[in-house]
Amino acid sequence: MLSNGSFLLPSLARTSSPLLSFFVKIPLPLIYRQNHSHCRSFERILVENIYHKRFSMGKSNRFCTMASAPVSNRATKKARRESPEGLLKHKFDMCSKHGDVAEALRLYDEARINGVQLNLHHYNVLLYLCSSVELSSEEMVSSDLVLKRGFEVFEQMVMDKVAPNEATITSAARLAAAAEDPERAFELVKQMKSFGIPPKLRSYGPALFGFCKKGEAERAYDVDSHMAESGVVPEESELSALLKLSSDSKKGDKVYEMLHRLRTTIRQVSESTAEVIEDWFVSEEAGKVGIVDWDVNNVKEGVRSGGGGWHGQGWLGIGNWRVVRTRMNEDGVCQSCNEKLVCIDIDPRETENFAASLTSLACGREVKADFLRFQEWLKRHGPFDAVIDAANVGLINQHTFNFFQLKSVVHQLQQISPSKKLPLIILHTSRVNGGPAQDPRNKKLIEMYWLYAAVSCNCLLVTNDEMRDHLFQLLGTSFFPRWKEKHQARLSVSSRGPQLHMPPPYSNVIQESEDGRWHVPTMTGDDLETPRQWLCATRARNTD
């Protein structure tokens, strides 16, 4: 700090780099700036730093001939932990764990005084804390001061020639957004590609949500387009924010687009998104958009080419909407408007690709020869009409494995099987609760076997496992939920014994009818006791 109370930021004043220029636009008193004649661009600093590291490493490897006594890995790790840098890392991590930005900044100041060299991890923790802290009025450290210190930390990182990574720039973007400057946050993300840093979804959040908060629709759409160019797929929170912005901006065509993007990527919406959708349909603008007369053949062709459940021809009809919360009966008929929902087909090629990816994943985790033998066995003895996750079925409402419960399910499946063929039962060799079957690794491997069998046979899979853990996340979020919805049979157990609940005859996904009505499934309910809740949106013409 200078004697007049200003902060010296030498490389910010005359740089044209978008990565740093956002600092000079932060309003006082968040940050003070002063021109300095000895400034270099951030890009040049990074290039010099990376070149210096590579050259130094090369010299070290090429010219170092000094013999040294072998040091154990344990001793090396201990020395690293107990070094000033290692101790500081531990303290910073504790601050991050507890959200203690004040202590982290105190430790940072102390480290600078004592000459402790900070690395990328140190700086990232500090920037994360400064960019994500939420302070109350009772706390001694104000949010403005934390922002100002965050800018200082970033500038010092530049001066120390520490090359950033995605986390660094994302935190810097959050600092910009916190200073209500989403434009600078967007420039930071755009600059990442020039440094060879692939942006992530979280990298775009500060700019996207910042523009949405300010009501700057066109700039928010620009961020959305940039995400698409970078291969970054928005999730529900981003699409919901764009949907609300489009609704508030009275852009009916963009609302229509966002609803269909929610349909393809999210399928069922959270309560907060459902409320955004409700607000649109009850708005005055929603009643104005649409056409009275449309080409019925074009709509039907749109439904056919799209696989069912939507047509993509735009808003059909005109006039105010009626929006209610409702449920579907067992046949998929809306209990509010009597519209029958459709079951959307799955492309067989998608199933083949899914089975191939599952095989690749299984062979990477399992003994490859074992899984390949299982595949060959399945080809010789299959296909089956049903596959049973026996460990799950035999333990529903039971403390120990119940073979009689499993036998009852097998009998029910054989009775409804078109070929009257026995189902395929997959169970760990221990056959009982406990022992090897309960080992987490073994449980994951067994999951792969019964899932692969059901997919390759294109048959029912009987299990109450919701398949939401990490293993199933690796399989992707697009195809797997659709497959599970059409193939998973569940089980309930009562005094009358186990009862099978077959997959619904319709798809739990946002559906657009040929006459313009909409049905939106929510995440409220989705078990055997509580049916899923739906939004039903119809115009007066739909109910005539």
Residues 149-159 have a mean pLDDT of 91
Asked if residue 313 has pLDDT above 60, the reply is yes
CA distance 408 to 6: 79
Range in 171-180, 197-206, 212-221, 446-455 the model is least confident about: 446-455
CA distance 10 to 525: 57
Between the two ends of the chain, the Cα-to-Cα distance in Å is 74
Report the share of the chain in percent with pLDDT over 90.
54
Asked if residue 246 has pLDDT above 80, the reply is yes
Asked if residue 51 has pLDDT above 60, the reply is no
Between 346 and 322, the more confident residue is 322
Asked if residue 141 has pLDDT above 80, the reply is no
Asked if residue 432 has pLDDT above 50, the reply is no
Asked if residue 321 has pLDDT above 50, the reply is yes
Average pLDDT, the chain: 82
Asked if residue 139 has pLDDT above 60, the reply is no
Q: 485, 503 in Cβ contact below 8 A? A: yes
Asked if residue 61 has pLDDT above 50, the reply is no
Asked if residue 441 has pLDDT above 70, the reply is no
pLDDT score of 36 = 36
Tokens of 88: 């500081």
pLDDT score of 306 = 85
SS3 199: coil
Asked if residue 14 has pLDDT above 70, the reply is no
Task: Compute CA distances 422 → 375, 379, 409, 412, 539, whole Å.
Answer: 19, 16, 11, 10, 49
Asked if residue 125 has pLDDT above 70, the reply is yes
CA distance 152 to 131: 12
Determine what percent of the chain falls in helix, strand and coil, rounding each to the nearest 5. Answer: 55, 10, 35
- 501-512 per-position pLDDT tens digit: 999 999 999 999
Asked if residue 166 has pLDDT above 90, the reply is yes
Asked if residue 439 has pLDDT above 70, the reply is no
Tokens of 422: 């026995």
Range in 24-38, 128-142, 201-215, 374-388 the model is least confident about: 24-38
SS3 315: coil
Q: Which residue has the tokens 């959305």?
A: 224
CA distance 207 to 192: 14
Alpha helical stretches, state H, 402-531: 403-416, 440-457, 470-473, 479-487
Domains in the chain, please, with CATH? Answer: 79-288 (1.25.40.10), 348-501 (3.40.50.11980)
pLDDT score of 533 = 94
Task: Compute CA distances 494 → 17, 396, 404, 416, 509, whole Å.
Answer: 68, 10, 14, 21, 30
pTM of the model: 0.77
pLDDT score of 208 = 98
Asked if residue 27 has pLDDT above 60, the reply is no
